[in-house]
Amino acid sequence: MKANHRIWKDNLMPTPHEIQKAGEGYTVEFFKGKGFTIDKWDTHTLGTANIEAHNNEGKILVQVISAITNEPSDLSPKDQRNIKLRATRTGAIAWEAKVILNTNLDIIGDIRLRALK
């Protein structure tokens, strides 16, 4: 899947919002390809549990972290605690998804998934 390309004038990098939204888009497509239905995708509030989805086995709550060319950092202990609490309240399983992108917002490699237990 290719991201919506934008011409980078004067070598400007994508904004943090563009980076995050692109990473979330790849993650949504990944889960759709695995048979999940996307219930909610919050594209406006960065740093929250971005994607809620379900399949016939249950519900998931996914926090996406995206970065350009480097491995994204792990969720902070506070963010992990918050997403796990929210997942528990909604009967979902909490996940962290890390997405590495190039400056054209194309994905590099695979999405790195980790269940938050």
Domain 9-115 has CATH 3.40.1350.10: yes
Cβ–Cβ < 8 Å for 55, 37: yes
pLDDT band at 50 (very low <50, low <70, confident <90, very high): confident
What's this model's pTM, rounded to 2 decimal places? 0.85
pLDDT band at 108 (very low <50, low <70, confident <90, very high): very high
**Least confidently predicted of 39-48, 73-82, 105-114:** 39-48
Q: Residue by residue, what is the 3-state secondary structure of the chain?
A: CCCCCCCCHHHCCCCHHHHHHHHHHHHHHHHHHCCCEEEEECCCCCCCCCEEEEECCEEEEEEEEEEECCCCCCCCHHHHHHHHHHHHHHCEEEEEEEEEECCCCCECCCCEEEECC
Whole-angstrom Cα distance, residue 107 to residue 74? 18
Mean pLDDT, range 41-62, rounded to an integer: 83
In the block, tokens 């350009």 appear at: 68
